[in-house]
Amino acid sequence: MFREVPVLPVVVPVAAAIFLTLLWYLHRRDRLSVPRAVVALALCVYAAGVVANTVFPIFLDKPSRSALWEVYLVPLADYEVGDAVMNILVFVPAGMLVPLLVARASLWRVVTVAAAFSLTIETAQLITGNVLGGGHVADVNDLLFNVAGAVLGFGLFSMLSRVPGAAALINPFRWR
């Protein structure tokens, strides 16, 4: 059996540091409130969960691989429906968080943020999988379906924002 880098002692302190940084950011701009702090906490918990489940496990004694720098670049080739659904569902919250965090959120902003976040994950998987003995493989399909999930989340958020009375509940959580 291979020794693994423990997930929680790495992810939790990083998420806590980012959470405190976000609170400081809001405070410095005189925007700190309980609803915005809840969004900061949700963002940190969400990002920590995504990183914990997509980058880890990382092995201390790297298992041998048959192929070096393994990456899947052909869209939809040998990609399972279950993986597509999971990647969509994992990124729905990203599409709902972006409009809370940025002014004038648009579909293109959500796509850009989701693509950047997903590309960062896939790059981390590529590096950890080939240099540090990580347990995941970079796949262009993950990126495509992650972005689709964020678009779905943005669509749901946009529809919810148009429900009478919902905007009044949502607006205190907005950062801008």
For 14-52, the pLDDT digits (tens) are: 999 999 999 999 999 999 999 999 999 999 999 999 999
In a domain, 2, yes or no: no
| 115: containing domain | 8-173
pTM of the complete model? 0.91
Q: Which two tokens stand for residue 158?
A: 């946009």
In a domain, 21, yes or no: yes
Number of compact structural domains in the chain:
1
Q: Which two tokens stand for residue 74?
A: 């052909």
What digits encode the pLDDT tens for the residues 128-174? 888 877 778 899 999 999 999 999 999 999 999 999 899 999 999 99
CA–CA gap between residue 162 and residue 176 (Å, rounded): 18
In a domain, 54, yes or no: yes
Give the burial string for 27-54 (b: 16+ CB within 10 Å, else e): eeeeeeeeebbebbeebbebbbebbbeb
CA–CA gap between residue 60 and residue 62 (Å, rounded): 6
